[in-house]
Amino acid sequence: MCLKILKITKIFIFLFCCFSDGLFAQQLTPKQWNEDLNYLVEHLQAMHPNLYAATTKEEFEIKTKTLRSTFGKKPDADIWCGLIELISCIKDGHTVMSNNVINRYFPVRFYQFEDGIFITAIDSANKDYAGAKVLKIGNTDIATALQKVMVMVSAENEMTAAERCVMQLSNAHILKYIGINKDTASLNLFIQKKDGTTKEIILKSQQATPSNWMQWGEMFGPFRSLYTGFKNYTSFDHRKGYKDLALFMRERMPYWYEYMPGEKTIYFQLNFVQDYAGRDNMKIFVAKLFASIDSIKPDKFIIDLRFNSGGDGSRINNILHQIIKRDDINQPDKLYVLSGRKSFSAAIMLLAALKEHTNATFVGEPAGAGFNHYGDAQEIELPNSKASCNISTLYHQCGKAGNKDRLEKNIDIPSRFSSAAYFNGKDPALDYIFNTRFQRVTTLLSEGKIQEALAAYKQREKEWGNFKWYQVFGENDMNTIGYNLIEQHKLNEAITAFELNTKEYPESFNVWDSLGEAYVLAGNKEEAIKSYKKVIELNPGSVSAKQAVEKLQKQ
Protein backbone atom coordinates (compact mmCIF):
# COMPACT_ATOMS: atom_id res chain seq x y z
CA MET A 1 0.00 0.00 0.00
CA CYS A 2 2.81 2.39 0.93
CA LEU A 3 4.69 1.54 -2.27
CA LYS A 4 1.56 2.24 -4.31
CA ILE A 5 1.08 5.61 -2.62
CA LEU A 6 4.75 6.41 -3.20
CA LYS A 7 4.44 5.62 -6.92
CA ILE A 8 1.32 7.79 -7.22
CA THR A 9 3.10 10.60 -5.39
CA LYS A 10 6.07 10.41 -7.76
CA ILE A 11 3.76 10.52 -10.77
CA PHE A 12 1.95 13.52 -9.32
CA ILE A 13 5.23 15.35 -8.69
CA PHE A 14 6.37 14.63 -12.26
CA LEU A 15 3.12 15.89 -13.76
CA PHE A 16 3.18 18.96 -11.53
CA CYS A 17 6.69 19.83 -12.66
CA CYS A 18 5.67 19.43 -16.29
CA PHE A 19 2.49 21.46 -16.03
CA SER A 20 3.60 24.07 -13.51
CA ASP A 21 5.42 26.06 -16.17
CA GLY A 22 2.41 25.97 -18.47
CA LEU A 23 4.18 23.62 -20.89
CA PHE A 24 3.55 20.24 -22.45
CA ALA A 25 3.24 17.31 -20.05
CA GLN A 26 5.70 15.17 -22.01
CA GLN A 27 9.38 16.08 -21.96
CA LEU A 28 11.24 15.87 -25.27
CA THR A 29 13.96 13.24 -25.36
CA PRO A 30 17.64 14.21 -25.67
CA LYS A 31 17.53 12.83 -29.21
CA GLN A 32 14.64 15.14 -30.13
CA TRP A 33 16.40 18.16 -28.63
CA ASN A 34 19.59 17.29 -30.50
CA GLU A 35 17.59 17.12 -33.71
CA ASP A 36 16.10 20.56 -32.99
CA LEU A 37 19.44 22.13 -32.14
CA ASN A 38 21.13 20.65 -35.20
CA TYR A 39 18.26 21.93 -37.35
CA LEU A 40 18.59 25.41 -35.84
CA VAL A 41 22.38 25.64 -36.27
CA GLU A 42 22.25 24.35 -39.84
CA HIS A 43 19.65 26.96 -40.82
CA LEU A 44 21.52 29.76 -39.05
CA GLN A 45 24.69 28.93 -40.96
CA ALA A 46 22.88 28.53 -44.27
CA MET A 47 20.56 31.55 -44.09
CA HIS A 48 22.41 34.31 -42.21
CA PRO A 49 24.72 36.46 -44.38
CA ASN A 50 27.36 36.74 -41.64
CA LEU A 51 26.49 34.77 -38.54
CA TYR A 52 29.65 35.75 -36.69
CA ALA A 53 29.64 39.48 -37.42
CA ALA A 54 29.23 40.41 -33.75
CA THR A 55 30.31 37.23 -31.98
CA THR A 56 32.99 34.63 -32.56
CA LYS A 57 32.44 31.18 -33.94
CA GLU A 58 34.21 29.80 -30.86
CA GLU A 59 31.84 31.58 -28.46
CA PHE A 60 28.80 30.36 -30.40
CA GLU A 61 30.09 26.78 -30.44
CA ILE A 62 30.84 26.84 -26.69
CA LYS A 63 27.31 28.03 -25.94
CA THR A 64 25.90 25.39 -28.30
CA LYS A 65 27.88 22.67 -26.55
CA THR A 66 26.81 23.93 -23.12
CA LEU A 67 23.16 23.92 -24.15
CA ARG A 68 23.47 20.43 -25.62
CA SER A 69 24.82 19.16 -22.28
CA THR A 70 21.53 20.08 -20.57
CA PHE A 71 19.39 17.80 -22.72
CA GLY A 72 17.72 15.18 -20.55
CA LYS A 73 18.90 16.94 -17.39
CA LYS A 74 16.76 20.06 -17.36
CA PRO A 75 13.04 20.65 -17.98
CA ASP A 76 11.89 21.73 -21.41
CA ALA A 77 11.19 25.25 -20.21
CA ASP A 78 14.86 25.76 -19.31
CA ILE A 79 15.99 24.33 -22.64
CA TRP A 80 13.69 26.69 -24.54
CA CYS A 81 15.16 29.56 -22.52
CA GLY A 82 18.60 28.20 -23.35
CA LEU A 83 17.76 28.48 -27.04
CA ILE A 84 16.86 32.15 -26.52
CA GLU A 85 20.17 32.72 -24.72
CA LEU A 86 22.07 31.00 -27.53
CA ILE A 87 20.48 33.13 -30.25
CA SER A 88 20.96 36.30 -28.20
CA CYS A 89 24.75 35.88 -28.31
CA ILE A 90 24.62 36.51 -32.09
CA LYS A 91 23.69 40.14 -31.28
CA ASP A 92 21.44 40.59 -34.31
CA GLY A 93 18.13 42.32 -33.59
CA HIS A 94 16.41 40.53 -36.47
CA THR A 95 17.73 37.07 -35.55
CA VAL A 96 15.50 36.28 -32.60
CA MET A 97 14.23 33.16 -30.90
CA SER A 98 10.51 33.56 -30.34
CA ASN A 99 8.83 33.18 -26.96
CA ASN A 100 5.97 31.36 -28.68
CA VAL A 101 6.41 28.23 -26.56
CA ILE A 102 7.40 29.70 -23.19
CA ASN A 103 4.36 31.93 -23.26
CA ARG A 104 3.45 32.66 -19.66
CA TYR A 105 3.68 36.36 -18.87
CA PHE A 106 3.03 38.65 -15.96
CA PRO A 107 0.52 41.42 -16.82
CA VAL A 108 2.94 44.32 -16.56
CA ARG A 109 5.07 46.43 -18.86
CA PHE A 110 8.23 48.29 -17.80
CA TYR A 111 10.22 51.10 -19.38
CA GLN A 112 13.80 52.16 -18.74
CA PHE A 113 13.79 55.93 -18.22
CA GLU A 114 16.91 57.93 -17.51
CA ASP A 115 16.02 57.87 -13.79
CA GLY A 116 15.12 54.19 -13.41
CA ILE A 117 12.73 51.39 -14.37
CA PHE A 118 9.04 52.28 -14.07
CA ILE A 119 5.73 50.51 -14.63
CA THR A 120 4.09 51.92 -17.75
CA ALA A 121 1.19 49.44 -17.95
CA ILE A 122 -0.28 46.90 -15.54
CA ASP A 123 -3.40 44.81 -14.92
CA SER A 124 -6.65 46.26 -13.57
CA ALA A 125 -6.14 44.86 -10.06
CA ASN A 126 -2.99 46.97 -9.70
CA LYS A 127 -3.83 49.91 -11.96
CA ASP A 128 -3.14 52.44 -9.21
CA TYR A 129 0.54 51.49 -9.46
CA ALA A 130 1.02 52.47 -13.09
CA GLY A 131 3.78 55.06 -12.95
CA ALA A 132 5.49 53.49 -9.93
CA LYS A 133 9.24 52.99 -9.83
CA VAL A 134 10.47 49.38 -9.63
CA LEU A 135 12.98 48.76 -6.84
CA LYS A 136 13.10 44.98 -6.79
CA ILE A 137 11.72 42.26 -9.02
CA GLY A 138 11.30 38.78 -7.60
CA ASN A 139 14.20 38.24 -5.25
CA THR A 140 16.57 40.62 -7.06
CA ASP A 141 17.19 44.37 -7.00
CA ILE A 142 16.32 45.99 -10.31
CA ALA A 143 19.91 46.88 -11.31
CA THR A 144 21.03 43.27 -10.93
CA ALA A 145 17.90 42.03 -12.68
CA LEU A 146 18.74 44.18 -15.71
CA GLN A 147 22.26 42.75 -15.84
CA LYS A 148 20.99 39.18 -15.61
CA VAL A 149 18.31 39.52 -18.27
CA MET A 150 20.70 40.94 -20.88
CA VAL A 151 21.82 37.43 -21.86
CA MET A 152 18.24 36.83 -23.03
CA VAL A 153 18.11 39.85 -25.35
CA SER A 154 18.84 39.85 -29.08
CA ALA A 155 20.19 43.38 -29.40
CA GLU A 156 22.48 45.12 -31.86
CA ASN A 157 23.36 48.04 -29.63
CA GLU A 158 22.65 49.54 -26.22
CA MET A 159 19.47 51.21 -27.45
CA THR A 160 17.89 47.94 -28.61
CA ALA A 161 19.02 46.35 -25.36
CA ALA A 162 17.32 49.09 -23.30
CA GLU A 163 14.09 48.55 -25.23
CA ARG A 164 14.02 44.76 -25.23
CA CYS A 165 15.43 43.83 -21.83
CA VAL A 166 12.35 45.20 -20.07
CA MET A 167 10.14 43.15 -22.40
CA GLN A 168 11.83 39.96 -21.22
CA LEU A 169 11.29 40.97 -17.58
CA SER A 170 7.59 40.25 -18.10
CA ASN A 171 8.17 36.63 -19.14
CA ALA A 172 7.57 34.18 -16.29
CA HIS A 173 9.83 31.43 -17.66
CA ILE A 174 12.74 33.75 -18.35
CA LEU A 175 12.60 35.27 -14.86
CA LYS A 176 12.81 31.78 -13.36
CA TYR A 177 15.55 30.67 -15.76
CA ILE A 178 17.90 33.55 -14.91
CA GLY A 179 17.26 33.17 -11.18
CA ILE A 180 15.24 36.33 -10.57
CA ASN A 181 12.03 34.57 -9.55
CA LYS A 182 11.41 31.22 -7.84
CA ASP A 183 8.50 30.03 -10.01
CA THR A 184 6.35 30.95 -13.01
CA ALA A 185 3.05 31.33 -11.18
CA SER A 186 3.49 34.61 -9.29
CA LEU A 187 5.86 37.54 -9.08
CA ASN A 188 6.57 39.87 -6.18
CA LEU A 189 7.35 43.46 -7.19
CA PHE A 190 8.76 45.96 -4.74
CA ILE A 191 7.83 49.43 -5.94
CA GLN A 192 8.03 53.07 -4.97
CA LYS A 193 4.71 54.81 -5.48
CA LYS A 194 4.31 58.32 -6.80
CA ASP A 195 3.99 59.69 -3.26
CA GLY A 196 7.39 58.22 -2.36
CA THR A 197 6.14 55.34 -0.20
CA THR A 198 7.13 51.76 -0.96
CA LYS A 199 4.93 48.71 -1.39
CA GLU A 200 5.07 45.05 -2.37
CA ILE A 201 2.57 43.83 -4.95
CA ILE A 202 1.99 40.32 -6.31
CA LEU A 203 1.23 39.54 -9.96
CA LYS A 204 -0.16 36.26 -11.30
CA SER A 205 1.11 34.94 -14.63
CA GLN A 206 -1.16 34.22 -17.56
CA GLN A 207 -0.75 32.55 -20.93
CA ALA A 208 -0.30 35.03 -23.76
CA THR A 209 0.78 35.36 -27.37
CA PRO A 210 3.87 37.57 -27.45
CA SER A 211 4.35 38.00 -31.20
CA ASN A 212 2.42 41.25 -31.63
CA TRP A 213 2.61 43.16 -28.37
CA MET A 214 6.38 43.54 -28.57
CA GLN A 215 5.90 45.76 -31.60
CA TRP A 216 3.66 48.37 -30.04
CA GLY A 217 5.72 50.27 -27.51
CA GLU A 218 5.88 50.92 -23.83
CA MET A 219 2.19 51.01 -22.92
CA PHE A 220 1.39 47.69 -24.58
CA GLY A 221 1.99 44.39 -22.84
CA PRO A 222 1.25 40.74 -23.47
CA PHE A 223 -2.42 41.43 -22.79
CA ARG A 224 -4.76 43.92 -24.43
CA SER A 225 -6.25 45.62 -21.40
CA LEU A 226 -3.36 46.84 -19.29
CA TYR A 227 -3.90 50.16 -17.53
CA THR A 228 -1.45 52.95 -18.30
CA GLY A 229 -2.14 55.45 -15.54
CA PHE A 230 -3.57 58.11 -17.86
CA LYS A 231 -7.18 58.93 -17.00
CA ASN A 232 -8.01 55.27 -16.39
CA TYR A 233 -7.17 54.45 -20.01
CA THR A 234 -6.09 50.98 -21.09
CA SER A 235 -3.25 50.39 -23.51
CA PHE A 236 -5.58 50.07 -26.50
CA ASP A 237 -7.20 53.39 -25.67
CA HIS A 238 -3.88 54.83 -26.85
CA ARG A 239 -4.85 53.81 -30.38
CA LYS A 240 -8.06 55.86 -30.48
CA GLY A 241 -6.85 59.42 -30.87
CA TYR A 242 -8.18 60.82 -27.58
CA LYS A 243 -7.33 64.51 -27.48
CA ASP A 244 -6.74 64.57 -23.73
CA LEU A 245 -3.66 62.36 -24.19
CA ALA A 246 -0.26 63.81 -25.01
CA LEU A 247 0.50 63.92 -28.72
CA PHE A 248 3.25 61.29 -28.61
CA MET A 249 0.96 58.69 -26.96
CA ARG A 250 -2.36 59.69 -28.48
CA GLU A 251 -2.74 57.38 -31.46
CA ARG A 252 -0.30 54.51 -31.76
CA MET A 253 -1.69 53.43 -35.10
CA PRO A 254 0.59 52.63 -38.06
CA TYR A 255 0.42 56.19 -39.43
CA TRP A 256 -1.40 59.42 -38.70
CA TYR A 257 -0.80 63.16 -38.63
CA GLU A 258 -2.23 66.25 -37.02
CA TYR A 259 -1.95 69.96 -37.65
CA MET A 260 -0.96 71.98 -34.59
CA PRO A 261 -2.27 75.50 -35.34
CA GLY A 262 -0.66 77.16 -32.33
CA GLU A 263 2.79 76.07 -33.50
CA LYS A 264 1.95 76.10 -37.24
CA THR A 265 3.32 72.56 -37.34
CA ILE A 266 2.28 69.29 -38.96
CA TYR A 267 3.17 66.37 -36.72
CA PHE A 268 3.39 63.01 -38.51
CA GLN A 269 3.76 59.84 -36.44
CA LEU A 270 4.83 56.80 -38.46
CA ASN A 271 4.76 53.68 -36.29
CA PHE A 272 4.73 50.92 -38.91
CA VAL A 273 5.89 51.04 -42.52
CA GLN A 274 2.99 49.01 -43.84
CA ASP A 275 -0.59 49.34 -45.01
CA TYR A 276 -3.29 49.33 -42.37
CA ALA A 277 -6.62 47.74 -43.24
CA GLY A 278 -8.69 50.22 -41.25
CA ARG A 279 -7.40 53.29 -43.13
CA ASP A 280 -6.12 54.50 -46.47
CA ASN A 281 -3.16 52.51 -47.71
CA MET A 282 0.22 54.19 -47.22
CA LYS A 283 0.48 55.54 -50.74
CA ILE A 284 -2.88 57.32 -50.53
CA PHE A 285 -2.19 58.46 -46.97
CA VAL A 286 1.19 59.98 -47.89
CA ALA A 287 -0.40 61.79 -50.85
CA LYS A 288 -3.01 63.34 -48.51
CA LEU A 289 -0.33 64.24 -45.96
CA PHE A 290 1.74 66.21 -48.44
CA ALA A 291 -1.34 67.77 -49.99
CA SER A 292 -2.04 69.16 -46.51
CA ILE A 293 1.53 70.44 -46.30
CA ASP A 294 1.15 72.21 -49.65
CA SER A 295 -2.16 73.73 -48.55
CA ILE A 296 -1.24 74.75 -44.98
CA LYS A 297 2.41 75.65 -45.62
CA PRO A 298 3.45 74.93 -42.04
CA ASP A 299 6.43 76.52 -40.33
CA LYS A 300 7.59 73.07 -39.23
CA PHE A 301 7.10 69.46 -40.32
CA ILE A 302 7.92 66.79 -37.70
CA ILE A 303 8.31 63.10 -38.55
CA ASP A 304 8.16 60.97 -35.40
CA LEU A 305 9.81 57.54 -35.83
CA ARG A 306 10.44 56.90 -32.12
CA PHE A 307 7.89 54.07 -31.93
CA ASN A 308 8.48 52.56 -35.37
CA SER A 309 9.76 48.98 -35.21
CA GLY A 310 9.85 48.46 -38.99
CA GLY A 311 7.79 47.12 -41.85
CA ASP A 312 8.23 47.19 -45.61
CA GLY A 313 11.40 49.07 -46.56
CA SER A 314 10.29 49.41 -50.18
CA ARG A 315 7.72 52.01 -49.10
CA ILE A 316 10.11 54.59 -47.68
CA ASN A 317 11.06 56.21 -51.01
CA ASN A 318 7.53 57.52 -51.44
CA ILE A 319 7.96 59.64 -48.28
CA LEU A 320 11.54 60.61 -49.13
CA HIS A 321 10.74 61.80 -52.66
CA GLN A 322 7.85 63.94 -51.43
CA ILE A 323 10.21 65.78 -49.08
CA ILE A 324 12.99 66.22 -51.62
CA LYS A 325 10.52 67.87 -54.03
CA ARG A 326 9.63 70.56 -51.48
CA ASP A 327 12.42 73.03 -50.76
CA ASP A 328 10.06 75.05 -48.57
CA ILE A 329 10.07 72.32 -45.88
CA ASN A 330 13.40 70.63 -46.63
CA GLN A 331 15.33 72.97 -44.35
CA PRO A 332 17.06 72.34 -40.98
CA ASP A 333 14.81 74.74 -39.05
CA LYS A 334 11.63 73.37 -40.64
CA LEU A 335 12.11 69.61 -41.07
CA TYR A 336 12.63 67.57 -37.89
CA VAL A 337 12.97 63.81 -37.52
CA LEU A 338 12.46 62.14 -34.13
CA SER A 339 14.43 58.94 -33.52
CA GLY A 340 14.47 56.54 -30.58
CA ARG A 341 15.54 53.19 -29.19
CA LYS A 342 12.52 51.46 -30.74
CA SER A 343 13.26 52.79 -34.26
CA PHE A 344 14.23 49.63 -36.10
CA SER A 345 14.36 47.76 -39.41
CA ALA A 346 12.49 49.73 -42.11
CA ALA A 347 12.52 52.75 -39.79
CA ILE A 348 16.34 52.57 -39.84
CA MET A 349 16.26 52.60 -43.63
CA LEU A 350 14.07 55.71 -43.60
CA LEU A 351 16.30 57.43 -41.04
CA ALA A 352 19.37 56.71 -43.16
CA ALA A 353 17.68 58.01 -46.32
CA LEU A 354 16.52 61.19 -44.58
CA LYS A 355 20.02 61.72 -43.18
CA GLU A 356 21.63 61.28 -46.57
CA HIS A 357 19.20 63.11 -48.83
CA THR A 358 17.48 65.84 -46.78
CA ASN A 359 18.41 68.75 -44.56
CA ALA A 360 16.45 67.43 -41.57
CA THR A 361 17.43 68.10 -37.97
CA PHE A 362 17.49 64.86 -35.95
CA VAL A 363 16.15 64.85 -32.40
CA GLY A 364 15.94 62.13 -29.73
CA GLU A 365 18.06 59.02 -29.20
CA PRO A 366 20.04 56.83 -31.60
CA ALA A 367 18.02 54.10 -33.28
CA GLY A 368 18.02 50.41 -32.40
CA ALA A 369 20.53 49.42 -35.10
CA GLY A 370 23.16 50.92 -37.35
CA PHE A 371 22.36 52.19 -40.82
CA ASN A 372 24.25 49.12 -42.11
CA HIS A 373 22.53 46.10 -40.59
CA TYR A 374 21.14 42.61 -41.20
CA GLY A 375 17.43 42.10 -41.81
CA ASP A 376 14.67 40.59 -43.95
CA ALA A 377 14.25 37.82 -41.40
CA GLN A 378 12.58 34.54 -42.31
CA GLU A 379 10.95 32.27 -39.76
CA ILE A 380 11.81 28.62 -39.23
CA GLU A 381 10.11 26.16 -36.88
CA LEU A 382 12.06 23.52 -35.01
CA PRO A 383 10.67 20.06 -35.88
CA ASN A 384 10.06 18.65 -32.39
CA SER A 385 9.64 21.53 -29.92
CA LYS A 386 7.82 23.70 -32.49
CA ALA A 387 9.74 26.69 -31.19
CA SER A 388 10.23 29.31 -33.91
CA CYS A 389 13.22 31.45 -34.79
CA ASN A 390 13.55 34.45 -37.10
CA ILE A 391 16.83 34.54 -39.04
CA SER A 392 18.24 37.50 -40.98
CA THR A 393 18.77 36.74 -44.65
CA LEU A 394 20.06 40.02 -46.13
CA TYR A 395 22.61 42.72 -45.35
CA HIS A 396 21.28 46.26 -45.74
CA GLN A 397 23.91 48.89 -46.46
CA CYS A 398 22.02 52.11 -45.88
CA GLY A 399 25.03 54.09 -44.63
CA LYS A 400 28.60 54.60 -45.78
CA ALA A 401 30.41 51.50 -47.02
CA GLY A 402 32.59 49.92 -44.38
CA ASN A 403 30.84 51.67 -41.50
CA LYS A 404 30.37 49.01 -38.82
CA ASP A 405 29.09 51.35 -36.11
CA ARG A 406 25.99 49.76 -34.64
CA LEU A 407 25.15 52.92 -32.70
CA GLU A 408 24.72 55.67 -35.27
CA LYS A 409 25.63 59.01 -33.72
CA ASN A 410 23.35 60.97 -36.01
CA ILE A 411 21.43 62.97 -33.39
CA ASP A 412 21.65 66.78 -33.59
CA ILE A 413 19.55 67.41 -30.46
CA PRO A 414 19.67 64.68 -27.77
CA SER A 415 16.36 64.15 -26.01
CA ARG A 416 14.90 61.33 -23.98
CA PHE A 417 12.08 60.96 -21.50
CA SER A 418 12.49 61.25 -17.78
CA SER A 419 9.79 59.49 -15.79
CA ALA A 420 8.45 62.86 -14.60
CA ALA A 421 8.10 64.17 -18.15
CA TYR A 422 6.52 60.97 -19.46
CA PHE A 423 3.92 60.51 -16.74
CA ASN A 424 3.00 64.19 -16.92
CA GLY A 425 2.49 63.94 -20.68
CA LYS A 426 5.45 66.18 -21.49
CA ASP A 427 7.54 65.58 -24.59
CA PRO A 428 11.07 67.05 -24.18
CA ALA A 429 11.80 66.63 -27.89
CA LEU A 430 8.81 68.73 -29.00
CA ASP A 431 9.40 71.24 -26.23
CA TYR A 432 12.92 71.84 -27.51
CA ILE A 433 11.83 72.14 -31.14
CA PHE A 434 9.16 74.71 -30.32
CA ASN A 435 11.08 76.75 -27.76
CA THR A 436 14.72 76.79 -28.87
CA ARG A 437 16.37 78.00 -32.05
CA PHE A 438 18.93 75.43 -33.08
CA GLN A 439 21.84 76.03 -35.45
CA ARG A 440 24.52 73.48 -36.24
CA VAL A 441 28.10 74.39 -35.35
CA THR A 442 29.08 73.53 -38.93
CA THR A 443 26.49 75.97 -40.28
CA LEU A 444 27.75 78.79 -38.05
CA LEU A 445 31.32 78.19 -39.21
CA SER A 446 30.35 78.06 -42.87
CA GLU A 447 28.73 81.46 -42.36
CA GLY A 448 31.94 82.81 -40.85
CA LYS A 449 30.49 83.16 -37.34
CA ILE A 450 33.51 81.85 -35.43
CA GLN A 451 32.62 83.13 -31.96
CA GLU A 452 29.02 81.94 -32.23
CA ALA A 453 30.26 78.52 -33.38
CA LEU A 454 32.70 78.22 -30.47
CA ALA A 455 30.02 79.30 -27.99
CA ALA A 456 27.54 76.79 -29.42
CA TYR A 457 30.12 74.00 -29.24
CA LYS A 458 30.95 74.79 -25.62
CA GLN A 459 27.28 74.98 -24.64
CA ARG A 460 26.39 71.66 -26.26
CA GLU A 461 29.32 69.89 -24.68
CA LYS A 462 28.15 71.19 -21.31
CA GLU A 463 24.46 70.45 -21.86
CA TRP A 464 24.64 67.11 -23.66
CA GLY A 465 28.10 65.76 -22.88
CA ASN A 466 26.60 63.22 -20.46
CA PHE A 467 25.09 61.37 -23.43
CA LYS A 468 28.03 59.13 -24.30
CA TRP A 469 26.61 58.54 -27.77
CA TYR A 470 26.29 62.24 -28.60
CA GLN A 471 28.67 64.04 -30.91
CA VAL A 472 28.25 67.73 -31.63
CA PHE A 473 28.93 67.20 -35.34
CA GLY A 474 30.06 64.51 -37.72
CA GLU A 475 33.76 64.14 -38.43
CA ASN A 476 33.34 64.18 -42.21
CA ASP A 477 30.83 67.03 -42.04
CA MET A 478 33.28 69.28 -40.21
CA ASN A 479 36.20 68.25 -42.42
CA THR A 480 34.16 69.18 -45.49
CA ILE A 481 33.35 72.58 -43.98
CA GLY A 482 37.05 73.14 -43.27
CA TYR A 483 38.12 72.50 -46.85
CA ASN A 484 35.27 74.62 -48.19
CA LEU A 485 36.54 77.49 -46.04
CA ILE A 486 40.05 76.98 -47.39
CA GLU A 487 38.70 77.27 -50.94
CA GLN A 488 37.04 80.52 -49.89
CA HIS A 489 40.43 81.75 -48.56
CA LYS A 490 39.07 81.86 -44.99
CA LEU A 491 42.04 80.24 -43.26
CA ASN A 492 41.19 81.35 -39.73
CA GLU A 493 37.71 79.85 -40.00
CA ALA A 494 39.15 76.68 -41.58
CA ILE A 495 41.69 76.26 -38.76
CA THR A 496 38.90 76.71 -36.21
CA ALA A 497 36.87 74.02 -37.97
CA PHE A 498 39.76 71.55 -37.99
CA GLU A 499 40.69 72.35 -34.36
CA LEU A 500 37.13 71.61 -33.26
CA ASN A 501 37.28 68.35 -35.19
CA THR A 502 40.40 67.28 -33.27
CA LYS A 503 38.61 68.03 -30.00
CA GLU A 504 35.57 65.98 -30.98
CA TYR A 505 37.52 63.15 -32.66
CA PRO A 506 40.97 63.15 -31.01
CA GLU A 507 41.71 59.54 -32.04
CA SER A 508 41.21 60.18 -35.77
CA PHE A 509 44.53 60.69 -37.57
CA ASN A 510 42.66 62.15 -40.53
CA VAL A 511 41.42 65.23 -38.63
CA TRP A 512 44.95 65.95 -37.39
CA ASP A 513 46.24 65.64 -40.94
CA SER A 514 43.70 68.19 -42.14
CA LEU A 515 44.65 70.55 -39.32
CA GLY A 516 48.33 70.21 -40.21
CA GLU A 517 47.56 71.07 -43.82
CA ALA A 518 45.67 74.21 -42.75
CA TYR A 519 48.55 75.32 -40.49
CA VAL A 520 50.99 74.90 -43.38
CA LEU A 521 48.83 77.14 -45.56
CA ALA A 522 48.70 79.70 -42.75
CA GLY A 523 52.51 79.62 -42.38
CA ASN A 524 52.38 78.23 -38.84
CA LYS A 525 55.14 75.61 -39.11
CA GLU A 526 55.41 74.86 -35.40
CA GLU A 527 51.73 73.92 -35.03
CA ALA A 528 51.81 72.09 -38.36
CA ILE A 529 54.68 69.89 -37.11
CA LYS A 530 52.75 69.14 -33.90
CA SER A 531 49.70 68.12 -35.92
CA TYR A 532 51.62 65.85 -38.27
CA LYS A 533 53.44 64.23 -35.32
CA LYS A 534 50.02 63.45 -33.87
CA VAL A 535 49.12 61.80 -37.19
CA ILE A 536 52.24 59.62 -36.93
CA GLU A 537 51.39 58.72 -33.32
CA LEU A 538 47.92 57.56 -34.33
CA ASN A 539 48.95 56.07 -37.68
CA PRO A 540 52.64 55.08 -37.62
CA GLY A 541 52.47 53.96 -41.23
CA SER A 542 51.63 57.43 -42.59
CA VAL A 543 54.39 58.18 -45.10
CA SER A 544 52.90 61.57 -46.08
CA ALA A 545 52.89 62.80 -42.46
CA LYS A 546 56.54 61.77 -41.98
CA GLN A 547 57.52 63.52 -45.21
CA ALA A 548 55.61 66.64 -44.13
CA VAL A 549 57.44 66.76 -40.76
CA GLU A 550 60.82 66.26 -42.43
CA LYS A 551 60.13 68.99 -44.96
CA LEU A 552 58.90 71.48 -42.33
CA GLN A 553 61.86 70.82 -40.04
CA LYS A 554 64.29 71.44 -42.91
CA GLN A 555 62.59 74.74 -43.66
Cβ atoms of 135 and 141 within 8 Å: the answer is yes
Phi, psi of 112 (to 5 degrees): -95, 95
**Local structure of 90: helix, strand or coil:** coil
Share in percent of the chain as helix, strand, coil (round to 5): 45, 15, 40
Return d(Cα 319, Cα 215) in angstroms, integer. Answer: 22
Spatial separation of the C-alpha atoms in residues 273 and 382, rounded to whole Å = 29
Q: What is the DSSP string of 283-296?
A: HHHHHHHHHHHHHH
Give me the residues paired with residue 202 across strands: 188
Question: Half-sphere exposure of residue 95, counting CA atoms within 13 Å on the CB side?
Answer: 30
Block means of pLDDT (10 residues each) for the chain, length 555 residues?
A: 40 41 64 98 98 96 97 95 97 92 92 95 96 95 97 95 94 96 96 96 88 72 87 92 95 94 97 89 96 98 96 94 97 97 96 96 96 95 95 94 85 96 97 96 93 96 94 94 95 95 96 97 95 97 94 89
- Residues 85, 340, 215, 354: what is their CA dihedral angle, to the nearest 10 degrees? -110
Global pTM reads 0.91
Classify the phi-psi angles of 169: left when phi > 0, otherwise alpha if psi is within -120 to 50, otherwise beta. alpha
